[in-house]
Amino acid sequence: MTDQHRKKLFSLFKDKGNSLIYLKGAEVSYRYDTDFEYPFRQESNFLYLTGIQEPGFHMVLDPEKEEYLLFVPKRDAMFAVWNGVVRSVEDYALKLKPDRIFFDEDLYGEISKRSPETIHCLNVSQAAVIDDMGFQTETGWLKDALAWCRCQKTDAELDMLRHASAVASAAHIAAMKGLKPGMFEYEMKALYEHEVVRRGLVHHPYNGIHGSGENSAILHYTESGRKIDEGDLYLIDAGAESNGYAADITRTYPAGGKFTGIQAAIYDTVLSALNGSIDMVKPGVAMEDIHLSASRTILKGLKDTGLVHGDTDTLMEKNIFALFFPHGLGHFLGLDTHDVGGYPKGVKRIDRPGIRYLRARRILEPRMVLTIEPGIYFIPALLRPALDHPGQKEFLNREKLEKMFYFGGIRIEDNLIVTETGHENMTSVPKERGEVEKIVGSGK
Ligand SMILES: [Mn+2]
């Protein structure tokens, strides 16, 4: 599949004179000054173009000739002692199918032979390798070009994403079935991860969030140490990674298996923001319009509970939605969980509460893959000042909101492919309230 990716990149390369493209693969990284190795993860652009999941490689592309030159690390017998077999260049040539293959020590010589005017690099630190050899480098083009290529997925990439989503969905259901009040958040994390790893996906695309009670309103909570009580909400935001491609799914449910009245009202509001947003996903629609539409749904739901009051247009204008929904509605998904391409060159973030964190401001096109993840949170750090803020307090019900300070938050997140006519939802974890209540704590 990587030959298609290189072809895409070559197609962008016009009138660039006699130049080459250089990318450096990732190295192993260590914890501070110790010999503890972090799990290896290839740099996403390098993975996209080569499919190589090992450290120490370099690649050069010659766009004029559409040639792919791969440089493999020269390893000695001691490498085999610690890490297993040392593959021969012939092995690599057979497996990875570059047009030409060399040892890394030949990098300078092979580039010299082609006497390029410029070498396009991803960033300054990658360019340093080439600068040190005395060639001219350029870092203004390659990163954006690769973001453009990676934005619309090929069929093979979509299959990887579907697989990641299927495994993450199964793990969400397993965790949901296993939840019992009295468990610790880390036990839920173990249940979830057991199911993912058991299915052969051993790397995580991001640190999962496993939060109960008020922790469910902490957007990047990772401690996972609290005991889960009967009346708590439980929020799990966790994915899976298949050949580098990510899933990113969130569900929130009651620890005791039954939503209380107010939990049910907030849940149904978030669910209707999610479903309404998903209905809007199709080519030609702008992400920020879906975000704003979800924000209106959230405000209407909050009005129904009496937590806020006022005319919806005014509440939108005063950014009241951002007090409860302070993050972006979704982001692109691919080799990175927050995938590239959300802001093409020249498109700026909207400087407005809530929307400024929207990670993709694009008109949707077929083969884009994205998350939709509305949420409602009761975060005292945001609500306390708002309750005293002259432009906001008149829309807020102080008495009711102060009772919600320990409620936590609810987020529901699905993963979608934009198709020619609409969308495909890759996530298959139940989310209707009645269905969720049947599954929570139901065991195997
Ligand atoms: Mn997400």
Buried b (16+ CB within 10 A) or exposed e, 165-189: bbbbbbbbbbbbebbebebebebbb
Q: In this structure, are 77 and 182 located in the same domain?
A: no
* Ligand 1 centroid – CA 254 distance (Å): 21
Tell me, yes or no, whether 247 lies in a domain. Answer: yes
Domain finish residue from 150, 177, 207: 150
Catalytic-residue membership of 388: no
Tell me, yes or no, whether 397 lies in a domain. Answer: yes
Q: In this structure, are 192 and 330 located in the same domain?
A: yes
**Contact partners, residue 125, CB within 8 Å, separation at least 6:** none
**Number of domains the chain contains:** 2
Q: In this structure, are 220 and 91 located in the same domain?
A: no
CATH number (domain holding residue 83)? 3.40.350.10
Domain finish residue from 150, 178, 203: 150
CATH number (domain holding residue 361)? 3.90.230.10
Q: In this structure, are 7 and 81 located in the same domain?
A: yes
Catalytic-residue membership of 331: yes
Residue in 251, 291, 331, 361 annotated catalytic: 331
Positions in the chain whose pLDDT score sits under 70: 444
Catalytic-residue membership of 220: yes
Q: In this structure, are 102 and 182 located in the same domain?
A: no
- Rounding to the nearest 10 degrees, give the CA dihedral for residues 151, 156, 159, 163: -100
Identify the H or E element spanning 118.
strand 118-120
* Ligand 1 centroid – CA 3 distance (Å): 29
Tell me, yes or no, whether 168 lies in a domain. Answer: yes
For the segment 348-366, what is each residue's pLDDT rounded down to a tens digit? 898 988 888 888 888 999 9
What pLDDT score was predicted for residue 1? 87
Tell me, yes or no, whether 57 lies in a domain. Answer: yes
Catalytic-residue membership of 313: no
| Helix 142-151 with 2-11: angle, nearest 10 deg | 120
Query: How many Å apart are CA 427 and CA 432, to the nearest integer?
Result: 13
What pLDDT score was predicted for residue 444? 65
| Helix 185-198 with 155-178: angle, nearest 10 deg | 140
What pLDDT score was predicted for residue 345? 80
Q: In this structure, are 254 and 372 located in the same domain?
A: yes
Tell me, yes or no, whether 26 lies in a domain. Answer: yes
Q: In this structure, are 112 and 218 located in the same domain?
A: no
Q: In this structure, are 193 and 335 located in the same domain?
A: yes
What pLDDT score was predicted for residue 240? 98
Query: How many Å apart are CA 111 and CA 133, to the nearest integer?
Result: 10
- pTM for this prediction: 0.95
* Ligand 1 centroid – CA 151 distance (Å): 16
Catalytic-residue membership of 268: no
For the segment 302-328, what is each residue's pLDDT rounded down to a tens digit? 999 999 999 999 999 999 999 999 999
CA terminus-to-terminus distance, the chain: 38
3-state secondary structure of 199: coil
Residue in 373, 414, 423, 437 annotated catalytic: 373
What pLDDT score was predicted for residue 353? 87
Q: In this structure, are 226 and 363 located in the same domain?
A: yes
Tell me, yes or no, whether 444 lies in a domain. Answer: no
CB of 268 closer than 8 Å to CB of 66: no
Residue in 192, 377, 423, 437 annotated catalytic: 377
Catalytic-residue membership of 248: yes
**Contact partners, residue 63, CB within 8 Å, separation at least 6:** 9, 10, 13, 16, 19, 20, 21
Domain that holds residue 116: 2-150
Q: In this structure, are 146 and 156 located in the same domain?
A: no
Q: In this structure, are 199 and 182 located in the same domain?
A: yes
Ranges of H-type helices in 85-184: 89-96, 107-113, 124-131, 142-151, 155-178
Tell me, yes or no, whether 276 lies in a domain. Answer: yes
Domain finish residue from 128, 150, 172: 150
Query: How many Å apart are CA 170 and CA 368, to the nearest integer?
Result: 24
Catalytic-residue membership of 120: no
Catalytic-residue membership of 210: no
* Ligand 1 centroid – CA 373 distance (Å): 7
Catalytic-residue membership of 411: yes
What pLDDT score was predicted for residue 87? 87
* Ligand 1 centroid – CA 29 distance (Å): 26
- Rounding to the nearest 10 degrees, give the CA dihedral for residues 205, 207, 210, 216: -110
CA torsion through residues 368, 369, 374, 375, sign: negative
∠ CA 423-427-431 to the nearest 5 degrees? 110
Tell me, yes or no, whether 282 lies in a domain. Answer: yes
Q: In this structure, are 183 and 139 located in the same domain?
A: no
